[in-house]
Amino acid sequence: MAKRKKAAKAKSKAAAKKTAKKVVKFTAKKLAASNGLPRPSAKPWGQAGRALDGVRILDFTHVQSGPTCTQLLAYMGADCIKVERPGIGDITRGQLRDVKGADSLYFTMLNGSKRSITIDSKHAKGKEILDRLVKLCDVLVENFAPGALDRMGLTWEHIHKLNPRMIVASVKGFGPGPYEDCKVYENVAQCAGGSASTTGFRDGPPLVTGSQIGDSGTGLHLALGIVSALYQRNRTGRGQRVLCAMQDGVLNLARVKLRDQQRLKHGPLTEYSQYGEGVPFGKATPRAGNDSGGGQPGWILKCKGWESDPDAYIYFITQAPVWTAICDLIGKPEWKTDPDYATPPARLPRLRGIFDAIEQWTMTKTKFEVMEICNKQDIPVGPILAMKEIA
313-317: strand order across its sheet: 298-302, 313-317, 381-383
- Listed in sequence order, the DSSP H helices in 137-283 are 148-151, 156-162, 186-192, 215-236, 246-253, 255-263, 273-276
Please name which of 83, 85, 87 lies closest in space to residue 116, comparing C-alpha atoms: 83
| Angle value at C-alpha 301, between 205 and 256, nearest 5 degrees | 55
Distance CA 3, CA 7 (A): 6
- Strands 167-172 and 139-142 turn out to be parallel
Of 254, 262, 252, nearest to 195 (Cα)? 254
Comparing CA positions, the residue from 305, 350, 308, 354 lying closest to residue 327 is: 354
**DSSP for residue 120:** -
Could you say which of 59, 79, 215, 248 is catalytic? 215
d(CA 90, CA 35): 45
| 215 catalytic per annotation | yes
Longest CA–CA separation in the chain, Å: 108
E strand residue ranges, the chain: 56-60, 79-84, 114-118, 139-142, 167-172, 241-245, 298-302, 313-317, 381-383
Name the residue among 193, 200, 167 with its Cα closest to residue 59. 167
| Cα-trace Rg, the chain | 30
Residues 152-162, buried b or exposed e (16+ Cβ, 10 A)? Answer: bebeeeebbeb
Please provide residue 244's backbone torsions phi and psi, each rounded to the nearest 5 degrees. Answer: -130, 115
CB 335 within 8 A of CB 303: no
How many angstroms separate the CA atoms of 336 and 323, rounded?
A: 8
- Side chain identity, residue 179: Y
List active site positions.
Answer: 215
